[in-house]
Amino acid sequence: MKLLRFLLLPLLIAIAAPLTAQSGDLETREAQVKELSGTALIKEALSLSEAFYLARKLDKSAELAQLAYWEASKQNDPAGMAKALNQEAKAQLADQNTRPAERLRIIKKLEESNSLATDPNLKEENLKILRQIYAQMGKTREVRETERELARLITEKNRNLEEELAAASQEQQKMKTLQQSLVQTLGEREDAIQSMTESQAKAELLLAQQKSILDSLSFLKTIDSLALAQQSMELKEQEAILRERDAQRKFLLALSALGVVVFIGLFLRFIGVRRHNREIAAEKKRSDDLLLNILPEKVAEELKTNQKASAQFFDSASVLFVDFAGFSQFAAKLPPDELVETLDFCFKEFDRIIVRHGLEKIKTIGDAYMAAGGLPSPDPANPGRVVEAALDIKEFLDSWKISREKEGKPFLRARIGIHTGPLVAGVVGEKKFAYDIWGDTVNVASRMESSGESGKINISASTYESVKDDFICKQRGKIPTKNLGDMEMYFVEKKK
């Protein structure tokens, strides 16, 4: 037994040494990553997160993925944010002590990663992980929906690959046909040139022979002047034939060169036209994307088609107001550029949440943010969607507050108000036009926000009646509001 221990000890040391070295290397890289910024920070943080994940240091992996996510948010890098959310979700899911509530947060991270991702492989990985989580939670319907989405994604990937292969095959066939045509043309020209060169040589030899005969005859004076003149005439005819053939040879050479130049020119023009078409398509897409950033898709299409957009009346829409409490005191603590950067960071996250829940951002007014559900197309489920978006905004601000406190920086809390009712929506203005909404519903939603409390979601009675079966709400009673009298209000606490 002692001998066995003696033999195993060096083996265990040899196995543990690389692992210890690797752990030390990861800790060194973790210390260095905090000195980076921008794209370098995102790339290194994701790499370290993956390495810690493989080393089963799951807390470290999740922490570095979060660091990459916040930096990617600052850099407006959706691909980096999507990868970071995927990595954080995998690390948290691998923890054996993951509770059901944490699984729901993991599902949200994977869904957000899918909405940001452009890489089909990353989307496929997210869907596979979601299918696994839903299966573990016994959610059969969600499993089937995820499998359908996964099948659709794989089918789309295969179709895109087949289209790329078909396009490449067509391009290859075109190039092969052009090459064969060029080779055939050049071969014909070369044969003609070779044939004419040989004729010219024969003519030159004949000319030399006849000149020799003439010289001999002249020297010997055996041929009379008439015969000499005839020979001279024949010689001139031969010279004319030679000059004509030489001119033909030069013409064919020039024609062949011109054919090559024309072919190269046509080929380069073909490449240029394709590049130009791609640039036009890219510019059109950028223009359409810019228009969709300003107006809803349905309104943008109507504006492009008719040069104007008609106003619409909606029987039931939900308006959401978010306003930062104590913003003046917060602004006094920060320089102007950092203040604007902080507002931009928060509003961009609000935008992503609004898009994720299928709502429409209306506008920002100073430090206030307004969005609506149930337009530009009617949606009976809009009150629930708006309340879910408000809960996500509150969760984001709570998480952001914790990170700012750790950094010793000031933070913002917000009052959130929601009301459901009829309103009118449309496009106003001729220059710098905007999609806006009007009506008492907008005013009441503003009063719900101003009558609320910091860090809470305050809703009206009409919104409460639409969502009371899906959300836990706390009745506040009738609260006096400016110009509207006493109104019944409720605080939304969480989803049932």
**Tens of pLDDT, residues 400-438:** 999 988 888 888 889 999 999 999 998 876 666 778 899
Q: What is the pLDDT of residue 21?
A: 45
Q: What is the pLDDT of residue 427?
A: 83
The domain 309-495 belongs to what CATH superfamily?
Nucleotide cyclase, GGDEF domain (3.30.70.1230)
Q: What is the pLDDT of residue 471?
A: 94
Which segment of 115-124, 218-227, 449-458 scores lowest on mean pLDDT? 218-227
Structure-token pair, residue 431:
């220059």
More confident residue, 317 or 251: 317
Q: What is the pLDDT of residues 310-366, one digit of tens each?
A: 778 999 999 999 999 888 888 888 888 888 998 999 999 999 999 999 999 999 988
Q: What is the pLDDT of residue 31?
A: 79
Highest mean pLDDT among 123-127, 173-177, 458-462: 458-462
Q: Helix, strand or coil for residue 35?
A: coil
| Angle, vertex CA 401, rays to CA 400 and CA 403, nearest 5 | 65
> What's the Cα-to-Cα distance from 170 to each of 176, 177, 278, 438, 474, rounded to whole Å?
10, 11, 18, 55, 66
User: CA 237, CA 357: separation in Å to the nearest integer?
Assistant: 93
User: CA 110, CA 118: separation in Å to the nearest integer?
Assistant: 14
Instruction: Return mean pLDDT, the chain.
Output: 80
> What's the Cα-to-Cα distance from 50 to each of 37, 127, 384, 425, 435, rounded to whole Å?
19, 19, 37, 48, 44
Burial bucket for residue 374 (CB in 10 Å: 0-12, 13-18, 19+): buried
Highest mean pLDDT among 13-22, 151-160, 309-318: 309-318
Instruction: State the pTM of this model.
Output: 0.45
Q: What is the pLDDT of residues 263-297, one digit of tens each?
A: 888 888 888 777 877 777 666 666 555 555 566 66
Q: Does domain 20-138 have CATH number 1.25.40.10?
A: yes
Average pLDDT over residues 470-483: 91
Q: What is the pLDDT of residues 230-241, one digit of tens each?
A: 666 777 777 777
Q: Residue 419: name the closest of 395, 397, 452 by CA.
A: 452
> What's the Cα-to-Cα distance from 81 to each of 30, 65, 110, 475, rounded to whole Å?
19, 9, 11, 38
